[in-house]
Amino acid sequence: MSRESGRHGDGRRTPVLQLDKVVKEYDGDPPLRILHGIDLTVHQGELVAVVGPSGSGKSTLLSLVGTLDRPTSGRVHLDGHDLTDLNDRQIAALRASSIGFVFQQFFLLPGLTTVDNVATGLLYTGESARRRHERAVRALREVGLAHRLDHRPDQLSGGEKQRVAIARALVGRPALLLADEPTGALDSASGQGVVDLLLHLNAQGTTVMVITHDRDLAASFPRQIGVQDGRVAFDLHGDTRTAAVPRSAQGGPG
Ligand X SMILES: Nc1ncnc2c1ncn2[C@@H]1O[C@H](COP(=O)(O)OP(=O)(O)OP(=O)(O)O)[C@@H](O)[C@H]1O
Give the footprint of Mg ion on this chain (CB under 5 A): 59
Which burial class, exposed, middle or buried, applies to 242 when counting CB atoms under 10 A from its CB (0-12, 13-18, 19+)? exposed
Q: Is residue 46 classed as helix, strand or coil in its secondary structure? A: coil
Does position 254 interact with ligand X (CB under 6 A)? The reply is no
Closest distance to Mg ion from the beta carbon of 19 (Å): 17
Which one among 31, 55, 80, 111 touches ligand X, defined by CB under 6 A?
55
Which one among 14, 44, 60, 162 touches ligand X, defined by CB under 6 A?
60
Q: Is residue 176 classed as helix, strand or coil in its secondary structure? A: strand
CA dihedral 24→26→31→36, nearest 10 degrees, is -20
Give the residue nearest to Mg ion (CB).
59
Does position 56 interact with ligand X (CB under 6 A)? The reply is yes
Closest distance to Mg ion from the beta carbon of 68 (Å): 13
Identify what 190 binds: ligand X, Mg ion, none; CB under 5 to 8 Å per kind. Answer: none
Q: Is residue 61 classed as helix, strand or coil in its secondary structure? A: helix
Which one among 6, 15, 57, 222 touches ligand X, defined by CB under 6 A?
57
Q: Which is nearer to ligand X, 57 or 144 (CB)?
A: 57
Q: Are 44 and 209 in contact (CB under 8 A)?
A: no
Which one among 34, 40, 47, 209 touches ligand X, defined by CB under 6 A?
34
Q: Is residue 90 classed as helix, strand or coil in its secondary structure? A: helix
Q: At residue 35, what is the residue type?
A: L
